[in-house]
Amino acid sequence: MNNEILPGEMRRVISRRRFLEYVAFGTGLLAWPLNIKAETKHYLIVGAGIVGTAIAYALEQAGEKVTLIDKDFPAAHASGKTFAWINATYPKQSFNYHLLSRLGVNVYQKWDAHLELKINWKGSLEWFKNNDENQNMLKKVEVIQGFGSEAEIISKEEALGYEPNVLLNQNFITRSPRDGVINPVQAIKKMIQGIQSKGGKVIFPAEFLELTTNKGGVIAKTSHGLIRADKIVYACGTGSNLVAQGEYLKPSTPGLIVTSKPFKQTINKILVGPGVHVYQRRDGVVILGEQGKPPTNHDQRLSQRPEQFPNQPLSIEHGQRIVKLAANFIPKFKDLLIEKVEIGWRPLPLDGKPVIGFLNKYEYLATMHSGISLAPIVAELVRDELMFDVKSELLNDFRPQRFL
What values do phi and psi take at 231, rounded to 5? -145, 160
The Cα–Cα gap between 128 and 169 comes to: 8
Query: Among residues 86, 289, 117, 99, which one has the least CA distance to residue 180?
Result: 86
Query: Among residues 179, 227, 219, which one has the least CA distance to residue 202?
Result: 227
The pLDDT value given to residue 39: 83
Q: What is the pLDDT of residues 341-351, one digit of tens each?
A: 999 999 999 99
Q: What is the pLDDT of residues 58-94, one digit of tens each?
A: 999 999 999 999 999 999 999 999 999 999 999 999 9
Inform me whether the pLDDT recorded for 2 exceeds 80: no
Q: What is the pLDDT of residues 107-116, one digit of tens each?
A: 999 999 999 9
User: What would the mean pLDDT of 147-153 be, rounded to a whole number?
Assistant: 96
Inform me whether the pLDDT recorded for 198 exceeds 60: yes
Q: What would be the CATH architecture of the domain defined by 3-103+184-248+350-403?
A: 3-Layer(bba) Sandwich (3.50)
The pLDDT value given to residue 305: 80
The pLDDT value given to residue 117: 96
Inform me whether the pLDDT recorded for 236 exceeds 50: yes
Angle at 356 between CA 83 and CA 99, to 5 degrees: 65
Give the DSSP letter string of 94-157: SHHHHHHHHHHHHHHHHHHHHHT---B---EEE--SSHHHHHHHHHHHHHHHHTT---EEEEHH
Q: What is the pLDDT of residues 318-337, one digit of tens each?
A: 899 999 999 999 999 999 99
Inform me whether the pLDDT recorded for 263 exceeds 70: yes
The pLDDT value given to residue 4: 32
Inform me whether the pLDDT recorded for 173 exceeds 70: yes
User: What would the mean pLDDT of 268-281 be, rounded to a whole number?
Assistant: 97
The Cα–Cα gap between 153 and 177 comes to: 11
Q: What would be the CATH architecture of the domain defined by 122-180+251-347?
A: 2-Layer Sandwich (3.30)
Domain with CATH 3.50.50.60 in the chain: 3-103+184-248+350-403
Q: What is the pLDDT of residues 291-323, one digit of tens each?
A: 766 666 666 666 678 888 888 888 899 899 999
The pLDDT value given to residue 24: 46
Query: Among residues 172, 224, 226, which one has the least CA distance to residue 203?
Result: 224
In the DSSP assignment, the letter for residue 65 is E
Q: What is the pLDDT of residues 41-64, one digit of tens each?
A: 999 999 999 999 999 999 999 999
The pLDDT value given to residue 5: 33
The pLDDT value given to residue 147: 94
Domain with CATH 3.30.9.10 in the chain: 122-180+251-347
The pLDDT value given to residue 78: 94
The pLDDT value given to residue 25: 47
Inform me whether the pLDDT recorded for 286 exceeds 60: yes
Inform me whether the pLDDT recorded for 34 exceeds 80: no
Secondary structure tally for the chain: helices H, strands E: 11, 19
The pLDDT value given to residue 294: 64
- Considering only the C-alpha atoms of the chain, give the largest distance between any 2 of them, rounded to a whole number of Å: 65
User: What would the mean pLDDT of 376-383 be, rounded to a whole number?
Assistant: 98
Rg of the chain over CA atoms, in angstroms? 21
Inform me whether the pLDDT recorded for 366 exceeds 70: yes
Residue 380: Cβ-neighbour burial (10 angstroms; 0-12, 13-18, 19+): buried
Is 287 in contact with 318 (CB distance < 8 Å)? no
The Cα–Cα gap between 202 and 196 comes to: 7
User: What would the mean pLDDT of 181-195 be, rounded to a whole number?
Assistant: 97
Q: At what angle do helices 95-115 and 371-388 cross, to 10 degrees?
A: 90
205 preceded by a cis bond (ω within 30 of 0): yes
State the average pLDDT for the chain. 90
User: What would the mean pLDDT of 153-174 be, rounded to a whole number?
Assistant: 98
Instruction: With 0.85 as the threshold, say if the pTM is over it.
Output: yes
How far, CA to CA in Å, does 268 sit from each of 58, 82, 165, 172, 264? 32, 19, 10, 19, 12
Q: What order do you get walking across the sheet with 225-229 strand by strand?
A: 208-214, 217-222, 225-229
12 vs 3, residue with greater confidence:
12
